[in-house]
Chain A
Amino acid sequence: DTGVSQNPRHKITKRGQNVTFRCDPISEHNRLYWYRQTLGQGPEFLTYFQNEAQLEKSRLLSDRFSAERPKGSFSTLEIQRTEQGDSAMYLCASSRGTGGIINEKLFFGSGTQLSVL
């Protein structure tokens, strides 16, 4: 396993701009998750894909957020019209997806740190 890769590692943007993050999961992992983490807090679930299908979205995922996973491989998370409250670490994770999540290991990337000025 080469690990979960996230790009960029850091992103600084001005309020109102759009940003896009990329996540490359571990090869052949069927499930892919996006989490958000603010300073001093644990990661918060945003959304989850099984292959290319987005199966679950948190209420934290406002209309300005959109995630895709074309062809069930890499995923992108886009934030439109960024706000200062969007400043956070955005984490991606993947798992094999061969059974129920309750018994799965998640492999996390190092995250993308977003700063909205």
Chain B
Amino acid sequence: DAKTTQPNSMESNEEEPVHLPCNHSTISGTDYIHWYRQLPSQGPEYVIHGLTSNVNNRMASLAIAEDRKSSTLILHRATLRDAAVYYCILGGGGGNQFYFGTGTSLTVIP
């Protein structure tokens, strides 16, 4: 299973953009890059996913490096409700499960 590397924690001021990095140097050509987040006492929540091109949805943007060995989740204006653990996951490799790492704990400062 392909691995991802994320910083353990990050801080952001409220209403400022947040860039959450993820390294996945062993990604294969068919692996999708998924992001989930988990708020306290809740199950993970889907945020966004993509393969090669940058992706946007109402929650966030996903910027994928040209070589696909890294990606960045962008929250355009952080709110207090965005405080959560963010997981970067690779989906693929012939398997049928997602392997979560320990993620990045995002703190949003009012």
Chains A and B bind each other: yes
Size category of the A interface is 20 to 34
Q: Which residues of A contact B30 (CB under 8 A)?
A: 102
Contact with A along B37-52 (1 / 0, CB 8 A): 0000111111001010
- Asked whether A107 and B46 contact (CB < 8 A) given A42-B100, A102-B31, the answer is yes
Pairs across A and B, CB under 8 Å, 11 listed: A33-B97, A42-B85, A42-B87, A42-B101, A56-B96, A100-B92, A101-B95, A101-B98, A102-B92, A108-B44, A110-B41
Contact of B92 with A43 in the complex, beta carbons under 8 Å: no
Q: How far is the CB of A10 from chain B (nearest CB, A)?
A: 11
Contact of B102 with A101 in the complex, beta carbons under 8 Å: no
Residue total for B at the interface (Cβ-Cβ under 8 A) = 25
Instruction: Return the chain B residue nearest A41 by Cβ.
Output: B102
Contact of A43 with B96 in the complex, beta carbons under 8 Å: no
Instruction: Determine the distance from Cα of A91 to Cα of B45 in the docked complex, in whole angstroms.
Output: 12
Contact of A105 with B87 in the complex, beta carbons under 8 Å: no
- Asked whether A103 and B49 contact (CB < 8 A) given A108-B44, A110-B43, the answer is yes
